[in-house]
Chains A and B, each alone.
Chain A
Amino acid sequence: MNDKNEHPSVNDGDLESLSADEEKLLDELGLFGAARRQFLGQTLASGLGIFALQLLAKEKALAAMTSPDAVLAQNAASGDAIQVTMRINGSTQILTVDPRTVLLDALRERLGLTGTKKGCDQGQCGACTVIVDGRRVLSCLTLLASCEGKEVTTIEGLANGAGLHPMQAAFIKHDAFQCGYCTPGQICSAVALLREAEAGEASYVTRNLRTITKDLELSDEEIRERMSGNLCRCGAYPGIVAAIREVQSGRQTAQAWHFATQEEIAAVMNDKLLREGRSDETV
């Protein structure tokens, strides 16, 4: 781990220590072999591994429970219920719902797709961003009823099997999140942004609207403006901009962070011991 840019590796011992539930979860997440080692390496190294797995397990369990919505949908006497057929992450879904149901709640509570997050629930934060018919939209302000026949892509539908979408990989590489709650929305938004720039769509800060061409290469100012609908209260914006700039421009940039080296850890520990007047114990 002395090499600054090397991901920490996970040995077979770590993998064997997973519980059956954790194994099953990783299977469901579609992470096998090298991808699984990489995922665990990244999450374990930051001290979040087991915590993250517990959270994932809890979300899976909640998603499997019968929701009030589901009870309502099964009530044949409910004459005002509406049936909606749409494609979600490539598979056809048919749902019978109360007309009040918004896409966000249908995804999370009916389909168990809890990757899409509920933040403000009133169109101000962007955490619920999904892609409908190729365009990024807010699922909290989208009535499910209006999604009839539409193609919906959520964060769960971006990866290609075990391979992360380039935007997902770039978010990890550039440390583009801290708590992670806004991240699915940020990534869906960023993926849709790529297509908008390719099509030559403008933003408020784009110059010379009358002479725009296709395949725009976005400056940091442009990326910030175009991503302003996704708030991040941890303030991971520099990493988010770096990740999007790398994928959008197609030019690899150096990762600006690294796991602490043994020497750096020792220096911090020694500093702490010195401050506590225990200089004889320094390593």
Chain B
Amino acid sequence: MIILFLLIAGNAFFLNLVLPWWSAALPGLFFGYRLNVTPIRAFGLGFFAVFLAWGAHAAYVHIASNGVLSSRMAELFGLTQEWILIVITAVIGGMLSGCATLTSSLLAHSRNKK
């Protein structure tokens, strides 16, 4: 399961470098089918994998740039803290991946039911 978690996180990160934002859903769709866990766990696993991938990516950009843009964006969205932007980014990626992983694992469940 840890391997699948890392596969989803890693693939989401690399796919995003070449594909648009919705690519965060693809690893979950692909690997979720191989997950044999409860739906809640499937969602959680997919969610946290990309939460981590996107969150780390955003956090890296924020720190490497001394927050030059994140501070402006935080003000634009009326946020008091810049790290909230990183969390929002991570949650968006996580939600996409969570939904995808869940969908895929539910498909596997349904097929196995017979």
Is B a genuine binding partner of A? no
